[in-house]
Structure 1
Amino acid sequence: MVMGSSTIEKTMLTSFLLQGFWDRWIANDIPRETVIELRHRINRLEDWIRILQKHADVYENRAVHVLNQHSVGEAVNFYRLAAMHYNLIQWVFPETGNEKREWYQRCKDMHEQADQLVEDEIMNIIIQVEGNECYGRIRVSDRPKGCVIIINPIDSSKEEVVKYEDFFAGMGFATVSFDGPGQGETYTFSHQRATRQSWDLFVNEVIEFTALQFPMLQLYLFGTCLGGAWSIQGSSHPKICRTVSVSPVIDGDTRVPEYFEERLLNIIEDSKSGLLLRMESLDYVSPILLVHGKKDTIIQHDNIYDLYTKLPIEKRLIQYVDEGHGCNYRINEILKAAGHWYLRQSNPLSL
């Protein structure tokens, strides 16, 4: 029996019943045609793997083909697409093990192929947190304007949001992104589960590490969902200049699907300790841009407004009436707004 098979079955059932399940993956470039095929043809784990691997193979072959025709930009995009399909395969496994590690490595291999074609310098690095290895990526564009530290949702990985890295690099920022305890490569290969203490140490260590890497640059935080909560938590660090938090998960009345609760049991050491934002710890934070979708069914609107009211200094709230948790379909607008926020510009968005 596959480890976590009950959770996998609930995950696939949810993916069949709820279109909203797919929002994050569509926003991160899984094509709608692939989603339609998955929703209509999966009856078991083997179907999930077969369909995604088939599409990954197609994109890898396309990458090789266009690269032979010297179309480097297209090749990068196709390798990234292949990687995202492998990422979705490894993600469905809630527990680490040989199969999850195998698919994760394929995801990393595709990104490595793409990274070698990018002009920016991209490095894979490791930091130590409580004696455990946490895996990360650094990307440095030519003469960067500042450095954005990207903090991801707890069940996500740095590979899932490489498009954020691409966007910020296009705006002239260096980026740093790590998988924390319970996340991505750190969980899959180091078996490190999350606790509030380990995440406190992790966020602080990432900021200190980045400050040493880029002593002449201003440092910014960008986070979504639980990563959005920890970006606010980390914004109290004196070396952080500005922060953007999208759909931060706040300590209080949150509602998550059953399959997701079960996934969290695998990656959080003590679920009762929680990893959510505690609003009593907001005595000092850097200027924060807060982003909220009014159709969010996980975070209560009142909690977001209470959070915004409690933020003590310069702040801004962007709300999307047609977006849910994570504001997935407005992410390009949000990344653009984040870049302006970091540079202390105030270009208004059409909401």
Structure 2
Amino acid sequence: MKTTIQKTLMTARLFSGFWDRWSVHGVEDHVVSEIRPQLGNLEVWTDHFNKSGQLNENLAHSFYEKHLVNEAEYYYRLSALYYNLNQWIYPKQNDDKTYWFQKCLISIRKADAISSIDTRYVSIEISNHTCFGRVRLPANPVGCIIIVNPIDSSKEELFKYEMDFIRQNFITISFDGPGQGETYTFQGLKATQKRWMDFTDTVIEYAWSFFPDIPLYLFGTSSGASWAIYGSCNPKVTKAVAVSPAIRSEGIDLPAYFIERMNSVIEDKETILPNLHQLNIHKPIFMFHGALDVMTSSKTIYNLYDRLPSDKKFLEYEGEGHCCNYKLEKIRKLSMMWYLE
């Protein structure tokens, strides 16, 4: 019987779509093409991405010595993404996952240390456990965006989101919630629907307590999009963007490796998603959908959109699947324009 890691490696070797998420978040094409044919065991994976991480870390150091700080910052973040791939491959909390996540955090903090944007490492308490977050503070903020990450992603993976939002002078707040990233790896806190409700509410209250005079926006993808819609019901939130929201009770066939990964981080096997049909949604929502999405059907998305208040927007991409991966950069630009309308 194949383990979850073996199933993940097989999927990565056989299906190019596996890599879409990682490619749009920064993983280089040549790094993927070099490893795919060789993906027979875990050691090949960790060795390859460790070398890629070290290579980019060295490149970042070289740029920094030449006073090319922006380039150095980017390549430190890219090196962290490769180390993040190594922690991600382990579905369950263990020493190896912890080791690679620590390497990821070291690279991220090297990037933060040389960045012109102030970064603060923060935390909140959920179910007597610490949830770890980061806040980035441009000098003259026009708004504050809470990035709600998909359950299978860490905040470090989505560094391009931060970069795009910060360039346009938005404060960014990004936490790893129950079952996610740094919080799961170091605290062992698993996801339940109730914990995610508490987490979303607490992050919004946290943002409001520090930035009460700045418009508060939400940006979420996949399960994070569903929780962004939930969060939009909070009166402190101004607007929310939902990219490919995951809908509960959807009769879909998810890949075996993904189901097993989720079972490792979810305590309540029923669902960790909010029941969107029970929410009193009244704030503006901009929803994005990929027509080729096999995780959430177009019919389900259309039905949800019809229930939203009149001040809403919808954009569907014919050639995109779940999370609209290859349109994410454009989606972030459109979202920032819409936030400020």
TM-score (ref. length: structure 2): 0.98
2:332 maps to 1:297: no
Secondary structure of 1:176's counterpart equals strand
What is the match of residue 10 of structure 1?
Answer: 7
Which stretches in structure 2 are left out of the alignment for 5+ residues?
none
Which amino acid is 1:257 matched to? P
SS of the counterpart of 1:327?
helix
In the TM superposition, residue 312 of structure 1 has moved relative to its aligned partner by 2.3
Q: 2:260 aligns with which of 253, 262, 268?
A: 262
CA–CA distance in structure 2, aligned partners of residues 234 and 285 of structure 1: 11
Q: How many pairs were matched up? A: 340
Aligned to 2:36: 39
Q: CA deviation at 1:11?
A: 0.4
* SS of residue matched to 2:322: coil
Paired residue for 1:147, among 128, 144, 147? 144
CA RMSD for the aligned pairs?
A: 1.2
**What SS is found at the alignment partner of 2:114?**
coil
TM-score, scaled relative to structure 1: 0.95
Give the residue type in structure 1 aligned to 2:273: L
Is the contact made by 1:255 and 1:299 (CA closer than 8 Å) also made in structure 2?
Answer: no
**Secondary structure of the corresponding residue to residue 239 of structure 2:** strand
State how far apart, in whole Å, the 2-side matches of 1:89 and 1:107 are.
9
Which residue is 2:48 aligned to? 51
Contact 1:130–1:198 (Cα < 8 Å) also in 2:
yes
Displacement after TM superposition at 1:225 (Å): 0.4
Q: Which ranges of structure 1 fall in alignment gaps of 5 or more residues?
A: 345-351
SS in structure 2 at match of 1:81: helix
Matches of 1:244 and 1:170 in 2, distance apart?
18
* Local SS of the residue matching 1:248: coil
Could you say what secondary structure the match of 1:174 adopts?
Answer: strand
Query: 1:330 and 2:327 equivalent?
Result: yes
Instruction: Indicate if the aligned counterparts of 1:232 and 1:285 stay in contact, CA closer than 8 A.
Output: no
Describe how 1:1-351 pairs up with structure 2 within 5 A. 6-251=3-248, 252-272=250-270, 274-344=271-341
- Report if aligned partners of 2:135, 2:174 keep a CA contact under 8 Å in 1: yes
Q: Which amino acid aligns with 2:277?
A: E
- 1:86-112 CA-to-partner distances (Å, cap 9, x unmatched) read 001100000011110000010010010
User: Does the CA-based 8 Å contact 2:230-2:276 persist in structure 1?
Assistant: no
Per-residue CA deviation, residues 153-183 of structure 1 (Å, 9 max, x unaligned), is: 0011100111101100001100100000000
Secondary structure of 1:253's aligned partner: coil
Cα distance in 2 for partners of 1:126, 1:282 equals: 27
Moved more, 34-43 or 197-206: 34-43
Distance 1:114 1:62 in 2: 12
Q: Distance in 1 between matches of 2:85 and 2:256?
A: 19
Are 2:219 and 2:240, in contact at CA under 8 Å, matched by a contact in 1? yes
Percent sequence identity over aligned pairs: 41
Residues 10 and 39 of structure 2 are in contact (CA less than 8 Å); yes or no, is this contact kept in structure 1? no
Could you tell me how far 1:5 is from its partner in structure 2? 7.5
Instruction: Spell out, residue by residue over 1:54-84, the C-alpha distance to the aligned partner (whole angstroms, 9 max, x if none).
Output: 1111111111111111111111111111100
**Structure 1 CA distance for aligned equivalents of residues 237 and 258 of structure 2:** 31
Give me the whole-angstrom Cα distance separating, in 2, the residues matched to 1:325 and 1:285.
25
Aligned equivalents of 2:189 and 2:322: distance in 1? 27
